[in-house]
Amino acid sequence: MSIPRNTKAKQAVLHEISSSDFALSQPEIFERVKGACDRVTVYRVLDRLVMENKIHKIVNVDGTINYARCTSCDESHTHAHDHLHFSCITCKKIECLEEQLIHVKLPDTYQIKELFLTISGTCPSCQAT
Amino acid sequence: MSIPRNTKAKQAVLHEISSSDFALSQPEIFERVKGACDRVTVYRVLDRLVMENKIHKIVNVDGTINYARCTSCDESHTHAHDHLHFSCITCKKIECLEEQLIHVKLPDTYQIKELFLTISGTCPSCQAT
DNA sequence: TGCAAAACGCAACAATGTTGCATTAAATGA
DNA sequence: TCATTTAATGCAACATTGTTGCGTTTTGCA
Ligand SMILES: [Zn+2]
Ligand SMILES: [Zn+2]
Ligand SMILES: [Zn+2]
Ligand SMILES: [Zn+2]
């Protein structure tokens, strides 16, 4: 494996993800770091950050892919992904509900790798309207 | 609301989905009904079938969208979508695990619309290898 | 400072999905 | 059976999202 470098683009992308309280899509991230780097670079930086376990990938209920930094996950350990995600249909934001762990029991013939558990609905902020 | 029609394209698409034991993507469906209709028509037929509750939409762990016909769901009732889906990382097939119901408890501040629960891993067929 | 290679920009391509509009065909009733 | 209505289709064109190749730049380190 190659030694990762701390580039301007990487810092910018990671900063936007870190300072957002919900998961961002690639277009959203590119919009926010506008000028800092190329569109393709954002894709490559995101892939690298995922591999380095700095961020994690969330698939939204509509198939769009978002990126977030789990608050309870430090760089030290891998993401278990055994927690729920809440996807608001109004503001499109995705939250990690890390206190909500799900336990699934399947026949031994199934080998489980990861759980992708997302609830769609209206989040507290949007419900207050 | 308009009155749906039973067209050749619709029959072909529905037949492919019905006769498959795993969920199919739009490209896979288009491949299988080849010649029967245009690529765009497949998209429109799928949208209509989802609205008519004949099939349901499953988002794969990688964000790709697949379509399936729930065996336990007849046209009479709406899809609860409270069951698990298993997504094989080897053969890419998606199965409905309709006997596996999940019950989620969230604060009242969240209004739940749908559950999207997918497990990725290796399916029984691929594990036997 | 000089070097190796990690990372980047750019262009080109690929896959997937959408829209507008003229034409076709399915359902219904005369 | 035939005419009418309009749902549905085909086609072209466009939009979005993601990928690849390659020459150039920048980073980390000696
Ligand atoms: Zn919201
Ligand atoms: Zn999470
Ligand atoms: Zn499999
Ligand atoms: Zn299902």
Element holding A85 (H helix, E strand): strand A83-88
Whether A94 is in a domain gets the answer: yes
Please judge whether A104 and B114 are an interchain contact, meaning their C-beta atoms are less than 8 angstroms apart. Answer: no
For residue B2, is it within any domain?
no
Q: Output the pLDDT for position B75.
A: 42
Query: How many domains in chain A?
Result: 1
Instruction: Please check whether residue B89 lies inside any domain of the structure.
Output: yes
For strand D, which nucleotides have at least one atom less than 7 Å from a protein CB?
6-13, 16-21, 26-29
Q: How long is the CA B43 to C1' C18 vector, in angstroms?
A: 10
CATH of the domain at B115: 1.10.10.10
Per-residue model confidence (pLDDT) at position B6:
96
Ranking A71-80, A103-112, B50-59 by mean pLDDT, the lowest is A71-80
Q: What is the mean pLDDT of residues A57-80?
A: 69
Predicted local confidence at residue A71, as pLDDT: 59
> Is A71 a member of any domain?
yes
Residues B9-46 as b or e (16 or more Cβ within 10 Å = b)? ebebbbebbeebebbbbbebbbebbeebbeeebbeebb
Average pLDDT for residues A41-62, to the nearest whole number? 91
pLDDT above 90 (res B69): no
Q: What is the pLDDT of residues A87-124, one digit of tens each?
A: 888 777 778 787 766 777 888 899 988 788 888 888 89
Structure tokens at A71: 């608050």
A16 pLDDT exceeds 70?
yes
Residue A1 lies in a domain: no
Q: Render pLDDT for B84-108 as a digit per residue (tens, 0 to 9).
A: 888 888 877 888 887 777 777 888 8
Judged by its nearest atom, the ligand closest to the C-alpha of residue B109 is 1
Evaluate if residue A80 carries a pLDDT over 60: no
- Predicted confidence (pLDDT) at residue B72 exceeds the cutoff of 60: no
Average pLDDT across chain B, whole number: 85
Range of the domain at A72: 8-126
Q: What residues of A are in contact with residue B119 (Cβ under 8 Å)?
A: 104, 106, 110, 112-116
Task: Please give the structure tokens belonging to residue B17.
Answer: 């989905």
Asked, for residue A3, whether it belongs to a domain, the answer is no
Q: What are phi and psi of A29, to 5 degrees?
A: -65, -45
Residue B45 has pLDDT above 90, yes or no: yes
Per-residue pLDDT at A70: 64
